Amino acid sequence: MKKPFVTLEKLQEIIKQYPTPFHLYDEKGIRENARRLQQAFSWNKGFKEYFAVKATPNPAILDILRQEGCGADCSSFTELMLAQAVGFTGDEIMFSSNVTPREDFAYAHKLNAIINFDDITHIDFFSQIAPMPETVSLRYNPGGQFKISNAIMDNPGEAKYGLTRAQLTEGIKKLQGMGVKHFGLHAFLASNTKTNDYYPELAKILFTTAVELQRETGAHFAFINLSGGVGIPYHPEEQPVDIFAIGEGVRRAYEEILTPAGMGDVAIYTELGRYMLGPYGCLVATVLHEKHIHKDYIGLDACAANLMRPAMYGAYHHITVMGKEDLPCDHKYDVTGGLCENNDKFAIDRMLPKIDIGDLLVIHDTGAHGFAMGYNYNGKLRSAEILLKEDGSFELIRRAETPADYFATLNHTDYFKKCLF
């Protein structure tokens, strides 16, 4: 069974100051995991992790990762603003966007971020906004299906991202004519993979493609970006990936493909989000109601507005009833929130200990794509975010929304000019 990184006693202490629901993050776990990743790829002197800001867009979290040597992978204007506010500068920022507005490219250029072009037409589009940098990256979409052995991992041919193989050659030649001297190559071919083979297989594709492109165009490849896609064990019976085995698999591919081609100076980049933060966050909620009709329901003060993955994807998140970890799981429940949507369920037919009103529930593995995907349907307000620090203290790193926040964009109207928010 999954064990929470926080005790019932600590939660009770936190709740005296900050009521549920809230997302809680484990600083110790985040730092240790970042160091494991760095160690696994220490064989590559240029290695850098560009944390996917979209996964957990909180400056306190980003600053922890910055302290651990990570960069920031941004995909929008506001994510660039977050990165700048935290202190990321220049090539510490990777700008990987799609359907990119003019102002986003302009801001990325202002910050001297590395631009990762998602489409060949974006080259001319960007050139009308700012001078072309000496170093740029191109995102590759090989099309078809991405397989490991005989297992289909995903279907890049259906994805909206990236350039085709022919467009890579065309794009590099065009960029060389614009003064670009150094290139990066990037691809994301599968999400939440739970095999140690994903990164090494992706690396082989990118390394081989880079060698071909170098021979075709003479381009110098400064880095190859393996992007994200390394998953985490949401289910308790699943085993985590072995990041050291993954790093070693990429190293072997590097020595087999890049080094013999005279490309042994290529840096390896990653853009992990889920792997970096997922297990080191949880959603803490209190049981408000129980309902017994055709099924037994447990109603929480949290809802899909706080964690939409189960409603959106049918995703599994393990649940611990705090203080009842050792009791038998002999009751079957649907665990729900209060949205006017029947898919607002954190668990369906889940076997758990007997739950009582007032119990605290920890919903595991919400550190990435948890709070970040929140929304305000039904007028629900986003929760607080709290950091459990290494020394056992805790810090509010985002306050909970209030009705004043919800109505703030309507304050210009006559309807709300007299509201006392």
Please state whether beta strands 384-388 and 394-398 pair in parallel, antiparallel, or not at all (unpaired). Answer: antiparallel
SS3 342: coil
Confirm whether 303 is a catalytic residue.
no
Q: How many residues does the chain have?
A: 421
Instruction: Say how far residue 261 (Cα) sits from the centre of its chain.
Output: 33
Find the angle CA(79)-CA(80)-CA(81) to the nearest 5 degrees: 90
**Phi and psi dihedrals of 225, rounded to 5?**
-105, 115
Which of the residues 70, 74, 303, 340 is marked catalytic? 340
Please tell me the distance from the alpha carbon of residue 67 to that of residue 31, in angstroms, as a whole number: 9
Cis peptide bond upstream of 21, omega within 30: yes
Eight-class DSSP state of 208: H
Give Cα separations from 227 to 206, 268, 287 (angstroms): 11, 10, 39
Please tell me the distance from the alpha carbon of residue 251 to that of residue 88, in angstroms, as a whole number: 28
Which residues have CB under 8 Å from 163's CB, separation 6+?
117, 118, 119, 120, 138, 139, 140, 141, 171
Round the CA-based radius of gyration of the chain to a whole number and report it: 23
Half-sphere exposure of 121 (CA within 13 A, CB side): 6
Contact 280, 357 (CB under 8 A): no
Which residues have CB under 8 Å from 66's CB, separation 6+?
72, 86, 87, 88, 92
Q: Which tokens in the block code for residue 122?
A: 């974006």
Contact 320, 4 (CB under 8 A): yes
Q: Which tokens in the block code for residue 66?
A: 């910055």
Give Cα separations from 222 to 46, 47, 110, 119, 147 (angstroms): 9, 11, 21, 20, 27
CB atoms within 10 A of CB 210: 24
Query: Active-site positions?
Result: 340
